[in-house]
């Protein structure tokens, strides 16, 4: 029996759970406030490689990428709905899955009509997943994955795709003594 239980310390039993480790070089994860959701939206949108598409597409953020940055999914959904009803963002079904929604600034969306980025995003996600599948034990240290050049089909960039795959739940982040490890999620 642990010492806390013997002496009746209920504070330890009710204490907060351990925090998930952040990606190296990231600021601490924000709370679910609207300002935090806006900051996360801007940070993930900045990772979108506009030059790759000849600046023909506005920055596209997938909703589940925001879930990886902001812990409170309900707060993310509420704030995105407020932004949508306020006419600031547009939520798009991209055909990547039943729950996958793209978030685009309505101003930029009106300026530049979407021109089919969903097919290229799918192939790039598959390229990163295949890299993890081919690795030993289907797991890769995060540090090693960030050091590698992006796979040929992953022109969106590894950080953008990591937020995508972690937020969607296709990859799991496992803390280890030598740093986070990315593992394929169980089907």
DSSP line for 36-100: HHHHHHHHHHHTS-GGGGTT-S---EEHHHHHHHSS-HHHHHHHHHHHHHTTSEEEEE-SS-TT-
> Does residue 103 lie in a domain region?
yes
Q: Which comes out higher in pLDDT, residue 35 or 106? A: 35
How far is the C-alpha of 102 from the C-alpha of 65, rounded, in Å? 10
Residue 29: the pLDDT is: 56
* Domain assignment of residue 170, given as a range: 34-184
Residue 121: the pLDDT is: 62
Contact 56, 115 (CB under 8 A): yes
How far is the C-alpha of 22 from the C-alpha of 75, rounded, in Å? 20
Contact 183, 172 (CB under 8 A): yes
Residue 155: the pLDDT is: 58
The tens digit of pLDDT for each residue in 104-160 reads 887 776 666 534 445 556 677 777 888 888 888 888 888 888 777 665 655 567 787
> Does residue 12 lie in a domain region?
no
How many domains does one find in the chain?
Answer: 1
Contact 53, 117 (CB under 8 A): yes
16: left (phi over 0), alpha (psi -120 to 50) or beta: beta
Residue 163: the pLDDT is: 86
Q: How far are the Cα atoms of 102, 149, 165 from residue 132, in angstroms, in the given order? A: 24, 14, 11
Task: Tell me how crowded residue 9 is: count the other CB atoms within 10 A of its CB.
Answer: 13
DSSP 137: G
> Does residue 4 lie in a domain region?
no
Q: Confidence band (pLDDT; 50, 70, 90) for 164?
A: confident
Q: Confidence band (pLDDT; 50, 70, 90) for 172?
A: very high
Q: What is the mean pLDDT of residues 53-75?
A: 85
Of the ranges 62-71, 114-123, 155-164, 176-185, which one carries the lowest mean pLDDT score?
114-123
> Does residue 44 lie in a domain region?
yes
Whether the per-residue pLDDT at 35 is higher than 50: the answer is yes
Residue 130: the pLDDT is: 86
> Does residue 17 lie in a domain region?
no
Residues 6+ apart with CB under 8 A from 38: 79
Percent of the chain whose predicted confidence (pLDDT) is above 90: 13
Whether the per-residue pLDDT at 78 is higher than 90: the answer is yes
Q: Which comes out higher in pLDDT, residue 15 or 55? A: 55
In 80-92, which positions are buried (b, 16+ CB within 10 angstroms) versus exposed (e)? Answer: beebeeeeebbeb
Q: How far are the Cα atoms of 29, 76, 155, 181 from residue 126, in angstroms, in the given order? A: 27, 26, 12, 19
Residues forming beta bridges with residue 59, ordered by sequence position: none
């Amino acid at each position: 029996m642990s010492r806390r239980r013997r002496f009746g310390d209920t504070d330890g039993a009710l204490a907060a759970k351990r925090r998930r480790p952040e990606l190296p070089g990231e600021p601490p994860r924000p709370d679910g406030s609207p300002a935090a959701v806006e900051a996360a939206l801007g940070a993930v949108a900045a990772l979108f490689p506009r030059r790759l598409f000849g600046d023909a597409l506005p920055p596209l953020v997938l909703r589940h990428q925001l879930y990886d940055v902001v812990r409170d999914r309900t707060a993310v959904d509420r704030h995105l709905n407020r932004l949508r009803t306020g006419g600031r963002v547009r939520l798009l079904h991209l055909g990547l899955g039943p729950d996958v929604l793209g978030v685009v600034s309505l101003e930029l969306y009106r300026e530049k009509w979407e021109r089919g980025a969903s097919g290229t995003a799918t192939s790039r996600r598959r390229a990163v997943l295949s890299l993890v599948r081919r690795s030993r034990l289907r797991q890769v240290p995060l540090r090693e994955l960030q050091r590698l050049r992006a796979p040929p089909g992953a022109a969106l960039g590894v950080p953008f795709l990591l937020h995508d795959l972690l937020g969607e739940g296709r990859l799991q982040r496992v803390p280890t003594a030598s740093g986070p490890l990315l593992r394929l999620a169980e089907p």
